[in-house]
Amino acid sequence: MRSWRRSVKWWYRKCSARRTVSEVRRESVKRWATTQSNQPLWKAGLIESATMARQESFSSFSVLAFLLTIAAPPIWPQSTPLPTTYTVTQVNSMMGPAVTETVYRSGSKALVDMTMPPSPDKPKGFHTRALYDLQANTSFDWNLNQTPMPCSAGAFSGAWGDPFADSVAEMADLVKQNPKQVGTETVNGIATKIFEIEQPVKARIWLDAQYGEAVKTQMTEPGGQPQIISEIKQISLAAPPASLFVLPADCAAAAAAPRVPTEAERIAAETGGNAADFANAIYPPGSDNSCTVLYRVVRAGSMETIASGFQVAVDIAFDPQHPPSYTTGDGAHPTFSGGGIHEVTAQMRNSVLRIDNAPKVFYLDTYFGTAGDSSAMIYRHCFAPQTVLLYVVKNPAKISDGGDWLYVKSGKYATVNPPR
């Protein structure tokens, strides 16, 4: 479920960028219709975290997280036990066509159903489901609008989209603004408290008086009329039908396949160490404090430095609100163009690129010639005055096999020349 805080951030970006309705709808279709690696279909379009590989471009939803953080006071008892059996249905129209998302949960099983009506950009609309095993941390997702119906397996850790738990997490983050309560109202049978925020955009949020879930969110664009952009239509704490949590026959092959490792397991396997020593560089938000970033490329498994066979380009003036289009030329030594990107390979010393006073977010491209290209929007995460950033590549001869952009928080790789 998209929280009211994410809604405000998205709306602020929409108002600031002054995009047309058709542009907003195209982004909506792109975000919901794209399957990202190791991410459920529905989650790829809604959660503010980026994906594991960025061979072609940064994701639009990670751009959102670079923007401001909205805050609110804790307005319901934190000790209220959160339900583990429920059905929650929300209609979200913030990006054009209304999207209906229903989350069914029965203990350790959860199903997320998402539908979007047909549109000029997507004549069949959109209908996906994701089934979660909250004990095994595994998931399956499938697209009901395709025949044969594609189904993929995945693994997850942490948040998966629980509307109640996500609300607690959101409220725990509230640090800046204090919305004022302006009244109470019953919305679709749900008792709510009404809060208002004036900045960065005017917003009115109806919060479930018991759990703090955003039942309804209204935004007002400067000079415009108030618009309801999300609304919960139903909350039921009755047990959903058991049949909802049964995999369709099309998922038999995916269910029989080896389990996909979680991100923590994957990072541990790539680095040969503790995943807790690393932070994914493509995950927001960026650090407020500044630092020097020391970037180098290493081979997954051995963690040996890859000293040659690639070019590096960086855009330290990258603006997430106005992302440029980048182009890499052809030939043995191609050039980079677009935005403020420029090649910095010659600046590397002992296979390390030093980025002094790295900005809060920047764009980094590492080009391996015919083997492939990997680029990402990188968030600044400062764990020391000089913080090491690694691109851990699985196969330098085939970049499409994947890799991870990792900051080193602690451990032996936290220095430029780690001990062996």
DSSP letter for each residue of 319-382:
-TTSPPPPEE--SSS--EESTT-EE-GGG-BTTBEEETT--SEEEEEEE-GGG-EEEEEEEP--
Strands 361-367 and 327-328, bridge-based pairing: unpaired
Contact (CB, 8 A) for 312 and 328 = no
Contact (CB, 8 A) for 66 and 285 = yes
In 3-state terms, what secondary structure has residue 271? Answer: helix
Chain centroid to CA 17:
20
The single residue listed with the structure tokens 């560089």 is: 281
Q: Of 403, 111, 71, which is closest to residue 245 (Cα–Cα)?
A: 111
Sequence-distant (6+) residues with CB within 8 A of 146 are none
How far apart are alpha carbons 104 and 161 in whole angstroms? Answer: 11
pLDDT in tens for each of the 420 residues of the chain?
544 444 444 343 344 333 322 233 223 323 333 222 333 332 322 222 222 222 222 222 222 233 233 333 444 445 578 899 999 999 988 766 789 999 999 999 999 999 998 888 788 888 999 999 999 889 999 999 988 889 989 888 778 889 888 776 555 444 355 678 899 999 999 999 998 887 667 888 898 888 888 899 898 888 888 989 889 999 999 999 999 999 999 998 888 888 778 888 899 999 999 999 999 999 988 898 999 999 999 999 999 999 999 999 999 999 887 888 898 887 778 899 999 999 999 999 999 999 999 999 999 999 999 999 999 999 999 999 999 999 999 999 999 999 999 999 999 999 876 544
Distances in Å between the alpha carbon of 266 and those of 47, 53, 131, 154, 346?
20, 13, 22, 12, 32
Say what the pLDDT of residue 79 is: 58
Q: Of 66, 136, 418, which is closest to residue 277 (Cα–Cα)?
A: 418
List the Cα angle 166/242/91 in 5-degree steps.
40
Sequence-distant (6+) residues with CB within 8 A of 223 are none
Say what the pLDDT of residue 17 is: 36
33 is written with which tokens?
A: 């219709």
Write down the pTM of the prediction.
0.59
How far apart are alpha carbons 276 and 257 in whole angstroms? Answer: 28
219: β partners: 203, 227
**Amino acid present at 402:** G
381 is written with which tokens?
A: 């995460």
Say what the pLDDT of residue 54 is: 25
Q: Of 316, 324, 309, which is closest to residue 374 (Cα–Cα)?
A: 309
**Amino acid present at 339:** G
